[in-house]
């Protein structure tokens, strides 16, 4: 049973470029959340996808966008990269049964993005 996977592991981009990060959720999970973790800080919520729709969004600009595919995998796109976008990008998957309430979220290994 595969856990959450992410690709690529590391990425180096220059300012102004665009990047796409990918995430495959844990088997049986249908919800993917993306987080940005700057060095020495806790993960910051970017957005969450469920049923191929963005369900909730954190305080990130529109340069950050995403997509979820029918197989529940997800992509995070960042346009017009800034130096401050350098961080570890984590995706977390969970299963959303009927009703609301917190559910266990399991993190992937992350993609380390460096913007020069």
Partner 1 sequence: GENVEQHPSTLSVQEGDSAVIKCTYSDSASNYFPWYKQELGKRPQLIIDIRSNVGEKKDQRIAVTLNKTAKHFSLHITETQPEDSAVYFCAAPTGFQKLVFGTGTRLLVSP
Q: Which residues bind partner 1 (CB under 8 A)?
A: 31, 33, 35, 40-45, 48, 50, 55-56, 58, 90, 92, 94, 96, 100-110
> Which of 95-104's residues contact partners 24+ apart within 8 Å by CB, and which partners?
95/28, 95/29, 95/30, 95/31, 96/30, 96/31, 96/50, 103/31
Residue 114 CB, nearest approach to partner 1 (Å)? 14
Nearer to partner 1, 65 or 95 (CB): 95
DSSP label at residue 14: -
Q: Give the list of residues 6+ apart from residue 67 with CB closer than 8 angstroms, or none.
A: 49, 52, 74, 75, 77
Nearer to partner 1, 52 or 104 (CB): 104
Nearer to partner 1, 30 or 75 (CB): 30
Residue 81 CB, nearest approach to partner 1 (Å)? 22
Residue 16 CB, nearest approach to partner 1 (Å)? 28
Residue 15 CB, nearest approach to partner 1 (Å)? 25
CA nearest neighbour of 60 among 84, 95, 39, 42: 84
């Amino acid at each position: 049973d595969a856990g959450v996977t992410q690709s690529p592991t590391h990425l180096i981009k220059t300012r102004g470029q665009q990047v796409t990060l990918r995430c495959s959720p844990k088997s049986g999970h249908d919800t993917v959340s993306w987080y940005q973790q700057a060095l020495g800080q806790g993960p910051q919520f970017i957005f969450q996808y469920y049923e191929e729709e963005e369900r909730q969004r954190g305080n990130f600009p529109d340069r950050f966008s995403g997509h979820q595919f029918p197989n529940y995998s997800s992509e995070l796109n960042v346009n017009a990269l800034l130096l401050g976008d350098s961080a570890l990008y984590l995706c977390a998957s969970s299963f959303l049964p009927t009703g609301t309430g917190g559910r266990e979220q399991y993190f992937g290994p992350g993609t380390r993005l460096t913007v020069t």
